[in-house]
Structure 1
Amino acid sequence: MSSSSVSDEILKFATQYSLYTGCIMFSFGVIGNVLNLLVFTQLKLFRTNRCAFYITVESISNFIYQLLSITLTILTAIYGDDATGRFLIWCKLSGFLPVVIASLFSILAYHNVRHIVRRQLPIVRRKLDKQITAMVLMRVIAFVCLSSPYNAYRIYSINFPTSRSMPMAYAIIRLIQAILLSIFITNYTINFYIFILFSSRFRRQVKLVLVKKCWERWKYWCCRINNQIEPVNSETRNSQMESEENV
C-alpha cells in the first residue's frame, strides 16, 4: 500500500472520528447541561449561592459553545480547516482563556473555603458551601487536564504549520487534531457528570428534582388534563421538599 493511500485512509478516519465524537459529545452535553439547569434553578438551596449561580451561567454558555464547536467540527471534517487557525489573536485567546477561567474558579473555591472556616454559618449553609467547593475544585482539575493538550497543539500548529505537500505528515496532524479537539470539547459536556460522580449529595438532589419536582409536576398536569385532580396540601408538600433539599 502506497503512502498516499495510507494518508488518505488516515484522513478518512479522522473525518469520521470528528463527526461521530462531535455528535456524541453534543448529545451528552445537552442532556448534562439541561439537568444542571434543572437542579440549580429548581432547588431554593442553590438560589442564594454565588458559585451555584456561576455554574448555572456556565451551563447556559456551554449550550452556545457546543453549537459553535459542533459547527467547527463539521467544517474541520469536511474542509480540513476550521478557519480559526488563520487568526493569531484567536489562537492566543484559546490558549490564555482556559488559564483565566480555571484561576477564577480556583479563587472562588478558595474564597468559599476561607468563609467556611472563618464564619459561623448554619449547618445547612456549611454543608452547601462544602459541597459547592468540592464540585468546583473537581471541575477546575478536569478543565485544566482536558484543555491543556488541545491548546498546546493549537499554539504549536500556528507556529509550525504542516503543509499539504507532505500528505503523510498532514494526515497524522489532522488525526491528532481530531482526537485532541474531541478531548477539549468534553470540557463543555461533563460538568453534570463530574458533579454526580463525586458528590453523593448532588446525586440526592438530582433525584429529588427529577422524582419529586419534575415527575410530580408532570403527573399533576396529566391529571389536570384528565380532570382527575387529587386534593393536595401544597404547604405540607413544599415544606417537605425544602427539608429534603437540605439533607
Structure 2
Amino acid sequence: MPTADEILLLAEHFSLYFTIVIFVTGTVGNLLNLGVLTTLKLFRCNQCAFYLIIGSIVDTCQLSIIFIISILPFIYGFSPDNIFIVWCKLKYILPQLFRLLSTSIVCFAAFDQFLFTNPQYSMRRISSIQLARRLTLTAICIWIIHCIPYAIFYQIIPLNGCIITNTNLIHYYSYFYYPILHGLFPILTSCLFSLLAYRNVRHLVRRQLAVVRRRLDRQLTAMVFLRVIFFVLLLTPYTIYRIYSLNDLVSRLDPGPYAVDQLIYSIMASLINLNYSISFYIFLLSSSRYRRQVKLFYSKTSCRFFKLICNTNQNEISPSD
C-alpha cells in the first residue's frame, strides 16, 4: 500500500506533467483560434466570433498562470504560496478571475447564438457587436471586484498552508459561489441557451436567408453547442469537490487523508483546466467547415512566411562587382 509521501509525490507529478501537456496543446490551439477568427473576413464584426476570440485570449492567460503556479514549486523546491503572502493571494485571485471570465464568455456565446438565430426580428436586433463588448467589459469589472475578498482573507496558516480565514467567506463560497455562481447558474444558463439556439438553427431553412449567412449560423451554433457540452462535463466534478473540501478541511497533521485529498484535488483541477485548452479541438470536431478554414489560414500563413524568408534572403545577397 502506498505511503502518504508516495501519494503526495504522485499528485505533484501528475499535476505537473498534465499541466505541461495542456499548456502546450492549449496555447497552440488558442493561438490558432485567434488566427482563424481574426483574419478570415467571414468572422469580422460577428459578435459570436468576438466572444470566441475573447475566450481564446482568456483561456491562454489562464493556462499561462496555471503553468507558472505548477512549475514554481519544482524550480524552487518548495511551494511559494505557503511562505510568501503575496503569492498566496495571487495564486487564488488570478485563476479565479480568469475562470469566471472564461465561464462568462461561454454563457455569453450561447446567449448570443440564441438571439442571433431567433425567428423573431426583435430578438435578433438585440444581438450586436456593441452588446458583446459591453457584456465583456461588464463581466471583467464585476469579477475583478468579486476577487477583492480573496486579497483580504486568504492567509498563511502554519498547519494548513494558504487558506481562507474568514468563516463568512467560507460559507459564501460553500453555499453560493461554488454551487450557484460557479456551478448551477452557468451550467443551466449555457445549456438552456445553446439548446434553444440549436432548435432555432434547425428552422433556419424556413427563413429567407442568404446561403452564406445560414451556413455561418449553423457552424457557430454547432461550435458553441459542443463547447457547452464539454464545459458542463468538465466543470461539474470540480464544483462538487470544492463544495466538499471547503466544508471538510484536511490538516497537514494527518498525512494519509491529506495526501489522498491532494491527489483528488489534482485530478479534479486537471479536469476543469482542460476547459481552457480544448476549444480549438472541439471546434475542429464540431465543424468540417472550420477544419477547412483552419487549413486555409495555415496555407496563407505558410505562404506569407516563406515569402518573407525568401525576400529576406534576397536582400542579404549583395550584387557581385
Residues in 2 aligned to 1:98 and 1:199: alpha-carbon distance in whole angstroms:
28
The equivalent position to 2:297 in structure 1, one of 186, 198, 209, is 209
Higher relative contact order, structure no. (Cα contacts within 8 Å, ≥ 6 residues apart): 1
Q: C-alpha separation between the residues in 2 aligned to 1:215 and 1:202? A: 18
Deviations 1:163-220 (Å, cap 9, x if unpaired)?
Answer: 2232211111110100111111000000001111222111111001001x10111122
TM-score, with length taken from structure 2: 0.62
Q: Trace 1:47-62 onto structure 2 (pairs within 5 A).
A: 47-62=44-59
Question: Match for 1:214: what amino acid?
Answer: T
Decide whether the 8 Å contact of 1:109 with 1:133 is kept in 2: no
Structure 1 residues 222, 182: closer, same or farther in 2, change over 3 A? Answer: same
Q: Of 247, 258, 261, which aligns to 1:170?
A: 258
Runs (5+) with no aligned partner, structure 2? 83-87, 93-162, 316-321
Residue 107 of structure 1 is matched in structure 2 by 193
TM-score, scaled relative to structure 1: 0.79
The verdict on how the C-alpha distance between 1:53 and 1:108 changes in structure 2, with shifts beyond 3 A counting, is farther
Q: Does residue 129 of the first structure (1) align with residue 217 of the second (2)?
A: yes
Name the Cα RMSD after superposition.
2.8
- Deviation (angstroms), 1:52: 1.2
CA contact (8 A) 2:238 2:272 kept: yes
Deviations 1:22-65 (A, max 9, x none): 11111111101000001101111111322111101100111221
2:261 partner amino acid:
I
Aligned length: 224
Q: Of 46, 49, 67, which residue of structure 1 is paired with 2:43? A: 46
Percent sequence identity is: 40
- Counting only pairs closer than 5 Å after superposition, residues 83-232 of structure 1 correspond to structure 2 as 84=92, 85-86=163-164, 88=170, 92-93=176-177, 95=179, 96-97=181-182, 99-102=184-187, 103-104=189-190, 107=193, 110-111=196-197, 114=200, 117=204, 119-211=207-299, 213-227=300-314
The ranges of structure 1 where at least 4 consecutive aligned residues each deviate by more than 4 angstroms after the TM superposition are 74-78, 80-85, 89-92, 98-102
What is the aligned partner in structure 1 of residue 13 from structure 2? Answer: 16
Give the direction of change, closer, same or farther, for the CA distance of 1:162–1:201 in structure 2 (3 Å limit).
Answer: same
User: 2: CA distance between counterparts of 1:90 and 1:223?
Assistant: 57
SS of match in other structure, 2:3? helix
